[in-house]
Amino acid sequence: MNKTLNVVELFAGVGGFRLGLEKANADIFKTVWANQWEPARKTQDAFECYSRNFKNIGIDEYSNMDIAKVPSEKFQQLNIHLLVGGFPCQDYSVARSLSGEKGIEGKKGVLFWEIKRVIENSHPKYILLENVDRLLKSPSKQRGRDFAIMLATLRDLNYIVEWRVINAAEYGGAQKRRRIFIFAYKNNSDFAYRQKRLNPYEIIFKEGFFAKTFPVKEEAYKNRVDYVKLNKDIVDISDKFSFGFYPAGVMIGDEVFTAHPEVLEEKFTPLKDILLNEDEVDEKYYLDEETERKFEYLRGPKKIERISANGHRYIFSEGGMSPTDDLNGPGRTMLTSEGTVNRSTHIVEVNGRKRFLTPIECERLNSFPDNWTAGMSERMRYFCMGNALVVDLITKMGQTIIEIDSKELVTSEQIELFV
C-alpha cells in the first residue's frame, strides 16, 4: 500500500496542481498547506476560488498572505514530501555579498528565492515546478543564465533535477500550451540511486521521470544534444554563464545534459470536443457585425507605418491568421486576455455563427471541471484560465510520482553505504 504524501502548494492560483494530484490519487496526495496571494489587488479572486472548491476536504491551512512574510518556522513544522508550484519568470541574477562569502539575491521580490527558502526549511523528497518555456532562454542578453542559476541552487540544496517542455496538445490536451516542468528529487533517495546508474541519454529518452510520463522517440530531434558543467560558484554563473538549453535535460551534480526529444505519438483533443451544446451558449457570446469586422482586421495581415519614441519611422508587419479557430484541431495557447477583442482570443464558428469561447469552455481547455471559477467576475474567469496550467498533465505526473515513491524502500542512511 502506498504511503501518504504531504503536499505544499505555493503560488496556488485556482488549485490546478492540487486538483491534478488528487485526480491521480486523493488518498495519497494530501495538501497540508497552500499559499495564494495576488499583490496590488483588493479582491483575491484566485484565493477565494481555491477556498470554495477545496472547502472541508482536509486542508489544514490555506494562506492568503505575501509568501515572503510567512516565517521560516512555518515550513520547518510541516512534514513536506512534495513541494509544487508555478511561479513567474523573473530576473534571477545574484551578486556577491559584502563579505564575499556567497551569492545574495540581486533583486527583491523574486519568488524563486521564496521557493529556495521553503526547501531549505523543509527538505521535501520531491519538487515539481512549472513555468513558461522562455525561462530556458532568459535573459535575452545572456541566454540560459536564469535557468542555470535555478539548477545550481537546487544542486546546492542536494537535489537531482530533470526538466521538460511539455505541449499539452501533444499528450491528449485540447490546447497547444507549452510550459516547462521541473522535477527535482533528493540525491540520496532510492530513485536518485537508480538514476545515477543510468547514462544521461537513458534518463532523458527512456527511464527518467518525464520520459516515463510523456514518452518520446529514442533519437534526439536533429541530433540536438549538448552538455555543460556548472561552476560551483553561483555568482560566477550569474556573471558569466551563457548556454543554449534544449527542451529537456537532467542535472546530476555539476553536470548538465540537455536534448531536444520528439513526441512518440501525438494525441490531442479537438476543440470541437470541449464546446458546449449551442443551446447552452448565452447570446452575449456571439459576435455582432461590428465586432466581427474588428476581428477580421485584427486577425488579418497588415503593414503599418509607425514612429518610435526617438522619431524613427518603421513598418510594423503582421501575418494573417485564420478568421476562426479550427474545430478539428487543438486550441491555440490561451492568454489572460482571452474573451476580449484581441488577436489572440479564440473565435469559433458553429452553425454559421461566430462567437467567443465561454468561461466553461476555457476551463475545459485546461481540463478543469465545469464552473470551477464560477463566483468571480467573467473577466477574471478568463484571466485565471489564461494563467492556469493544464490539470491532466499534473495528473499524469502525479501517477509517476506515486510509482516512484512506492519503490522508496531503502533509507537514506543505507544508500550512503552503497555510494
pLDDT, tens digit, for every residue of 215-246?
A: 999 999 999 999 999 999 999 999 999 999 99
Confirm if 123 and 79 have CB atoms less than 8 A apart.
Answer: no
Please give the grid coordinates belonging to residue 334. 490561451
Of the residues 49, 89, 362, 384, which is catalytic? Answer: 89
Residue type, 8: V
Quote the CA–CA distance of 271 and 328 in Å, as a whole number.
6
- pLDDT above 70 coverage of the chain, percent: 93
Query: Yes or no: is domain 271-387 CATH 3.40.50.1980?
Result: no
Asked if the model's pLDDT at residue 5 lies above 50, the reply is: yes
| CATH code matching the domain that covers 5-192+390-418, chosen among 3.20.140.10, 3.40.50.150, 1.10.1530.10, 3.50.50.60 | 3.40.50.150
* Among candidate residues 29, 43, 41, the one with its CA nearest the CA of residue 82: 29
In the annotation, is 89 catalytic?
yes
Give the pLDDT score at 414: 46
Gyration radius of the chain over CA positions: 23
Quote the CA–CA distance of 304 and 103 in Å, as a whole number.
47
Q: How many residues does the chain have?
A: 419
- What residue ranges do the domains of the chain occupy? 5-192+390-418, 271-387
The per-residue pLDDT for range 20-53, each reduced to its tens digit, is: 999 999 999 999 999 999 987 788 999 999 999 9
The partner residues of 307 in beta bridges, in order of sequence, read 313
Give the pLDDT score at 87: 85
pTM of this prediction exceeds 0.75: yes
Residue type, 243: F
Asked if the model's pLDDT at residue 16 lies above 80, the reply is: yes
The per-residue pLDDT for range 291-332, each reduced to its tens digit, is: 999 999 999 998 888 888 888 888 888 899 999 999 999 999
Strands (DSSP E) along 276-323, which ranges? Answer: 302-307, 313-318
Q: Please tell me if the domain spanning 5-192+390-418 has the same topology as the one spanning 271-387.
A: no
Taking CA 160 as the corner, what is the angle to CA 400 and CA 233, rounded to the nearest 5 degrees? 155
Give the pLDDT score at 57: 53
- Whole-angstrom CA distances from 85 to 98, 137, 140, 160, 198 are 32, 20, 25, 18, 28
In terms of C-beta density within 10 A (0-12 exposed, 13-18 middle, 19 or more buried), how is residue 288 classed?
exposed
Asked if the model's pLDDT at residue 173 lies above 70, the reply is: yes
Given pLDDT bands bounded at 50, 70 and 90, which one contains residue 97? Answer: low
Looking at residues 123-142, what average pLDDT do you find? 94
